[in-house]
Amino acid sequence: MSNYYDYTILSNQTPAFADNISLMCENILAYGGTSPTIVGKFKDGAEIPDTDPVEYEQIAIKGTNPMPGTKEKNGRIMLHFSLPDLLEGNDLKDMLEAGMSNPKPPISIELTRSATETVWVSDGVDEDDNPIGHYEYHYPVVANKAKFLPYMGDVSDGVDGNDDPITRPPNMQDDLYLSQYFGSEPVEL
Residue 146 confidence (pLDDT) = 93
Residue 182 confidence (pLDDT) = 67
Mean pLDDT per 10-residue interval, the chain, length 189 residues: 80 80 85 67 72 74 69 87 90 93 88 89 90 91 92 84 85 87 78
The whole model's pTM is what? Answer: 0.75
Spatial distance between the Cα atoms of 135 and 61, rounded to a whole number of angstroms: 41
- What is the per-residue DSSP string for 20-84? HHHHHHHHHHHTT-B-TTEEEEEEEEEEETT-SS-EEEEEEEEEE-PPTTB--BTTEEEEEEEES
Burial class (CB in 10 A: 0-12, 13-18, 19+), 92: buried
C-alpha distances in Å from residue 79, one per residue of 13, 55, 71, 107, 147: 10, 35, 10, 10, 14
Residue 112 confidence (pLDDT) = 93
